[in-house]
A and B are shown apart, each in its own frame.
Chain A
Amino acid sequence: MRSTATNDATHTPHVLELFAAFLLIGATSFGGGVIAHLRSSLVVKHRWTDDETFVEMLTISQTLPGLKAVNLAMLLGDRLRGTLGAVVAVAGICLPGAALMYAVGVMYHIERDRRLVVAALEGVAPAAVGLILATTVSLGRKSFARLDDFVFVALTVICINRLHVPMPRVLIGVGLLAVAWYAFLGREGGKGSGGPQRD
């Protein structure tokens, strides 16, 4: 792996900028796929971080309990602006949705216009699928480029979607397999571990 010194090239946001960015994501990321919005804002638009760091934080947030988007906001907020950054990131991403769900909870017995909402959701859902898939491809570009990485990606998908193995077991099982494989490659004399493909 190359050193991550390239991170210094990305500029550090002000706490208020950070809060505004996460608040905007929290308010506009309807229909699922908060991860896609986070990457689009933080990596593509603001360039506060890069795909490599984003994937690293995503991996940690998926390994821990809790909602992925909240964990990711916590980790990225902390990485970008320390403790205060973490707090404003989590607050920003949660508040709009929380306010909306509060309103929904207070009037959940009202049945009016549900048909229109359902129709809109029928269109939002496939759009969200396209969005999440595109983000997965962007984030996984490196993993899809190497055969052994790709095999571990595929193995994870098969275990979850086909064999319906519980997620923590997949994480540990495939994770350990991958650890063993890369340790084996490293011992082979680095012929496999020498080619981190980067674009």
Chain B
Amino acid sequence: MIDDVLALGRVFAYLSLITLGGGIAAYPELNNLAVDAHGWLTAAQLDYLFGVGQAAPGPNLVSVAIGAATAGLPGALVVLIAFVGPPALLAFVVGRTWARLRTRRWVVSLQRALTPVSIGLLLAGCLSFAKGAITGWMTFTLAAIVFLVVLRTRVNPALMLLAGAAAGILAFAVA
């Protein structure tokens, strides 16, 4: 048990630092370590849990589910700290440094240059997410309606997702 907890901490601290560009980036390595190397769960279970983590509110914390399944509450807590802590600490330090340097000329031009790249990354993530989510005219219409409503009004985004969930149940489960 204690070995499991330590291994979980080690694996997820490592994964946290190779997660560059969203949780999905570390997925292959997560699969290697959690499924193949340690046998904490099967590939199918990981696939399902990752999907649930993606749908769950907040950042994708599939790591916590793996920790809980492997070593209960201690596993979940250690994983949460190991996975969130290192990058958060790094972000803190970089953020402070950035704030101190932000009036320097090269920092200003670096930011100027990286802004469109950052918007591009957001758009790219959205498009690859759309590839799996937009499966026909119905899902396309739903996405288009939400897009326009969110752009034009100040509606709480959670309401739009709830409406989407209701539409999904009506269309796919009832039909």
Check if B31 is an interface residue, CB within 8 A of chain A: no
Shortest distance between the CB of A5 and any CB in chain B (Å): 12
Partner of B76, one of A90, A98, A108, A122: A98
Does B123 count as interface, using CB distance less than 8 angstroms? yes
B146 touches which of A127, A136, A139, A155 (Cβ 8 Å): A127
Please pick, from B57, B80, B119, B143, the residue contacting A100 in the complex, using a CB distance under 8 A.
B57
B43: CB under 8 A from chain A? no
Q: Is the CB of A96 within 8 A of B20?
A: no
Q: Is the CB of B140 within 8 A of A126?
A: yes
- Which single residue of chain A is at the shortest CB-CB distance from B132? A125
- Output the least CB separation between B172 and chain A (Å): 4
Is B144 among interface residues, defined by CB-CB distance under 8 A?
Answer: yes
Interface size on A, residues (CB 8 A): 104
Q: Which of A36, A103, A122, A143 contacts B116 (CB 8 A)?
A: A143
Interface residues of A in 22-39 (CB under 8 A from B): 25-37
Partner of B117, one of A98, A115, A171: A171
A140 touches B129 (CB 8 A): no
- Given A30-B55, A104-B65, check contact A123 B142 (CB 8 Å): yes
Q: How many residues of B contact A (CB 8 A)?
A: 104
Cβ of B169: which chain A residues have Cβ within 8 Å of it? 116, 119-120, 123
Chain B's nearest CB lies how many Å from the CB of A129? 4
Q: Of all chain B residues, which has the CB nearest A45?
A: B154
**A156 pairs with B121, CB closer than 8 A:** yes
Q: Is A17 an interface residue (CB 8 A)?
A: no
Q: State in angstroms the CA–CA spacing of A148 and B114 once bound together.
A: 13
Q: Is the CB of A106 within 8 A of B68?
A: yes
Decide if A90 touches B122 in the complex (CB within 8 Å). Answer: no
Q: Name B's interface SS.
A: helix
Q: A67 contacts B23, CB within 8 Å?
A: yes
| Nearest-Cβ distance from residue A27 to partner chain B, whole angstroms | 5
User: Quick check: A179 and B109 within 8 Å, CB to CB?
Assistant: yes
Give the residue of A1, A55, A75 whose beta carbon is less than 8 angstroms from that of B95: A75
Residue B67 at the A interface, CB < 8 A?
A: yes
Asked whether B6 is an interface residue with its Cβ less than 8 Å from the other chain, the reply is no
**Residues of A134-186 whose CB lies within 8 A of B:** 134-140, 142-144, 149-150, 152-157, 160-161, 167-168, 170-171, 174-175, 178-179, 181-183, 186
Tell me which residues across on chain A come within 8 A of B91, comparing CB atoms: 60-61, 64, 66, 70-71, 74-75
Q: A40-B157, A58-B118 are in contact. Are A121 and B57 (CB under 8 A)?
A: no
- CA A83 – CA B93 in complex, angstroms? 11
* Given A60-B98, A157-B127, 11 new contacts (CB under 8 A): A29-B58, A67-B59, A98-B76, A100-B56, A104-B49, A129-B146, A130-B142, A130-B143, A132-B129, A153-B119, A179-B110
